[in-house]
Each structure stands twice: as structure tokens, then as C-alpha cells.
């Protein structure tokens, strides 16, 4: 079971950001990328774990892949674009990267229930290992949305999901490490999203912004990469009452793989990655399932290579191709084959069928 060739859906990967900001040729294997990057000192936070090739090898056939308007700089202030126009331009550059790979046939953009159903069927029946990887386009952080009126433009460009917050204050709300509710323009943004059919990702929303957003936004919501505050206390995590609210909205919550979010007391740059394993990931998945009373709201949203590398990922995960190990852990805890299929990919698939009106 641990080596099961099950299909996997990862709901959060910053693929274009890795390609453009880290200058990674993601068509290569992780081993090839690591060998190239090992020639240089201090250019990356750690050894990479993700590439398009590695996703295919691990049968991660579907992702939510992001536009991430953020730089990676040692000084936190320089990690944010100093103008929203620059963030807008950067995100369009990342969008062009995805479009180029779609043109090549390496990726398939999933924009509605029909394209999702066709893609899932193809992957479920594939024996070649050469199919394009499907992706749904999301944006993490809202600086590139220059006004709420711009939402239809972005939706037409392919953006189906928006997480308005990242770290700190954002134009329309507050994010991780800051406190506050929706800004004056926040309700209008959410209303434009709902009208356009864009989905709301509550990941990174500060608590007050989270609750106010749920009050304003009546469309489908998800938490693409979030863990549980009762297991690892931090404002980056979801409190149990937030998990219950998301379950009431028929949301799905993707478990993130960043070590400091998985085990209490894990310190970035100090604690060794072997101190955290995929068992800890399953702890968070199981907690969501226990609150829900079923397995339908738990899934994966790894965030692997999201500004960190292997040094900050579970010690028993060499690359993203190892996600299939989750199946064996779930089985050992009494989860059925249907439960496991749901957590690995079907829960996300059916969430999007519902969101797009065809479940």
C-alpha cells in the first residue's frame, strides 16, 4: 500500500515562482536540479523536492499551481514588491510561464468541470506515465489585483482561485503575522469574486479577516494548505472552530508539509528535518477527519518548495514523488481504501465538481 500508484492531487505548489524566482528548469528531475544548484553557494534555501518530472513520477496528476507575487530576499521588506504594478507585472510573467508549458503539452489547464472530468479519467486509466499534469490556477496574495473591478480580467485570464492574504497586511485584508479584518476595499473584492465565479482560498487569512470574509463571501471556499492550531499553536494554523466553519461550508482543507507547521517546537534552521515525518502530516489530516466525523474534508496541499527545501520538509520525504507513502500511514490508522482515495485526490476533485456545478 505504501508504494501504491494511486493518483494524487496537490492543492498548493508555487511552480512558476520556483521556475522564475529560483531559475529552476522544472522539466528536469529533482536529482538533476540538485546537482546543478550544488555548484553555487547560498543561492537557495535548501535542496528542492519538486519538479514537473517528479510530479509525473509520483502520479501527482493534478495541482493547484500559483501566481505568487513575492520575491525571496534576506531582508523581509525586500520580499514584497514595492509597487502593486510590479506585482501585477510579475504575476503576468508567471502566467506566461504556465501558458508556454500548456503550449508544449507538458501541462493542461483545468478551468471547469468538463476539463477536470476529462483529465481525471485520462489519468485514472493511464499506463504511459507521460500525460500532461493538470493545474488549476490560483493566486496567493492580492497585490496584483489592482482594484476589485479587475477581477473579471483576471478570471478571463484563467485565475479561478484567489487567496487574498499571504504574510502581513494585504490590500484587501490581513494575513499571517498581522491582525485585522477586511480593509475598506475587501468586501467589494469578495463580491466581484463571487459574481465572476472565482473561489476563495482562506489560507493565510488573519482570524478577523477569516471570519469577516466568510460573512461576506457566499461562494465556494477552500483552505488549500493549512494545518491545525490545536496540534501546533500558531496564527498560521486553523483553530477547531474555523475547521468546523469550513466543514459547514463544504470546504476541503489541504495539509501543508512545512515542518514548523507539523510539530510543536520545530524551529527553522535549528531542528533537524528527521524530527518530523509523514506521520505528523497524517496527524493533522486525522484531526480534520475527527472533527468532521468523516474523511471528506481532508486532503493534501503540500506547499513543498514554497520558499524552503528538503531541510524543512518531513525527513522521510525525499521528493514529492514520495507522497504515495501517505496511503500506507492512513491504512495503518484504519482508513478504508475509499477514504484514502478521497484524501489523496478525490476530495479535491469532488470539491471542484461541486464548485463548478456538476457534482
Nearest to 135 by CA among 220, 57, 58, 66: 66
C-alpha grid cell, residue 84: 502593486
Per-residue pLDDT of the chain (359 residues; tens, 9 = 90+): 334 478 999 999 999 999 999 999 999 999 999 999 999 887 777 899 999 999 999 999 999 999 999 988 777 777 888 999 999 999 999 999 999 999 999 999 999 999 999 999 999 999 888 999 999 999 999 999 999 999 999 999 999 999 999 999 999 999 999 999 999 999 999 999 999 999 999 999 999 999 999 999 999 999 999 999 999 999 999 999 999 999 999 999 999 999 999 999 999 889 988 899 999 999 999 999 999 999 999 999 999 999 999 999 999 999 999 999 999 999 999 999 999 999 999 999 999 999 999 86
* 2 falls within a domain: no
**How many CB atoms are closer than 10 A to CB 118?**
13
Q: State which residues form the domain around 331.
A: 8-257+281-305+319-355
Please check whether residue 1 lies inside any domain of the structure. no
Report how far residue 322's alpha carbon sits from residue 43's, in angstroms, rounded to the nearest whole number.
25
Domain CATH for 344: 3.20.20.140
In a domain, 38, yes or no: yes
Q: Specify if 313 maps to a domain.
A: no
- Let me know if 169 is exposed, middle or buried by CB neighbors in 10 A (0-12, 13-18, 19+): middle
Annotate 27-84 with DSSP letters as a single string. Answer: TS-HHHHHHHHTTSSSSSSS-----HHHHHHTTEEEEEEEE------SSGGGGS-SSH
Cell of 126: 493511464
| Residue 111: partners with Cβ closer than 8 Å, 6 or more residues away | 136, 158, 160
Does the pTM of the predicted model rise above 0.75?
yes
Least Cα distance to 173 among 144, 200, 221, 212 occurs for 212
3 part of a folded domain: no
Q: Is residue 57, in this structure, part of any structural domain at all?
A: yes
Overall number of domains in the chain: 1
Amino acid at each position: 500500500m505504501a508504494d501504491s500508484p494511486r493518483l494524487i492531487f496537490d492543492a498548493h505548489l508555487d511552480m512558476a515562482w520556483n521556475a522564475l524566482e529560483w531559475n529552476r528548469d522544472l522539466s528536469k528531475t529533482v536529482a538533476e536540479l540538485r546537482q546543478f544548484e550544488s555548484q553555487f553557494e547560498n543561492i537557495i534555501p535548501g535542496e528542492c523536492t519538486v519538479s514537473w518530472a517528479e510530479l509525473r513520477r509520483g502520479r501527482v496528476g493534478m495541482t493547484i499551481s500559483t501566481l505568487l507575487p513575492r520575491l525571496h530576499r534576506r531582508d523581509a521588506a525586500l520580499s514584497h514588491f514595492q509597487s502593486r504594478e510590479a506585482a501585477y507585472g510579475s504575476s503576468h510573467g508567471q502566467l506566461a510561464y504556465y501558458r508556454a508549458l500548456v503550449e508544449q503539452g507538458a501541462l493542461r489547464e483545468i478551468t471547469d468541470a468538463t476539463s477536470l472530468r476529462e483529465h481525471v479519467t485520462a489519468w485514472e486509466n493511464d499506463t504511459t506515465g507521460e500525460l500532461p499534469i493538470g493545474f488549476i490556477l490560483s493566486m496567493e496574495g492580492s497585490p496584483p489585483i489592482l482594484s476589485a473591478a479587475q477581477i473579471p480580467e483576471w478570471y478571463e485570464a484563467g485565475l479561478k482561485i484567489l487567496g487574498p492574504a499571504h504574510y502581513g497586511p494585504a490590500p484587501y485584508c490581513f494575513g499571517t503575522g498581522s491582525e485585522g479584518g477586511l480593509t475598506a476595499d475587501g468586501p467589494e473584492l469578495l463580491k466581484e469574486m463571487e459574481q465572476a465565479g472565482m473561489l476563495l482560498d482562506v489560507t493565510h487569512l488573519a482570524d478577523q479577516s477569516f471570519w469577516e470574509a466568510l460573512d461576506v463571501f457566499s461562494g465556494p471556499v477552500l483552505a488549500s494548505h493549512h494545518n491545525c492550531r490545536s496540534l501546533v499553536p500558531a496564527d498560521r494554523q486553523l483553530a477547531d472552530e474555523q475547521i468546523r466553519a469550513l466543514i459547514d461550508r463544504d470546504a476541503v482543507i489541504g495539509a501543508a508539509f512545512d515542518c514548523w507547521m507539523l510539530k510543536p517546537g520545530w524551529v527553522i534552521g535549528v531542528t533537524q528535518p528527521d524530527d518530523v515525518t509523514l506521520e505528523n502530516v497524517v496527524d493533522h489530516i486525522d484531526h480534520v477527519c475527527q472533527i468532521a466525523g468523516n474523511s471528506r474534508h481532508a486532503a493534501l496541499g503540500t506547499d513543498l518548495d514554497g520558499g524552503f527545501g528538503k531541510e524543512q520538509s518531513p525527513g522521510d520525504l525525499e521528493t514529492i514523488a514520495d507522497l504515495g507513502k501517505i496511503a500506507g500511514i492512513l491504512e495503518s490508522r484504519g482508513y478504508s481504501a475509499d477514504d484514502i482515495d478521497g484524501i489523496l485526490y478525490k476530495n479535491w476533485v469532488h470539491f471542484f465538481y461541486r464548485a463548478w456545478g456538476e457534482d
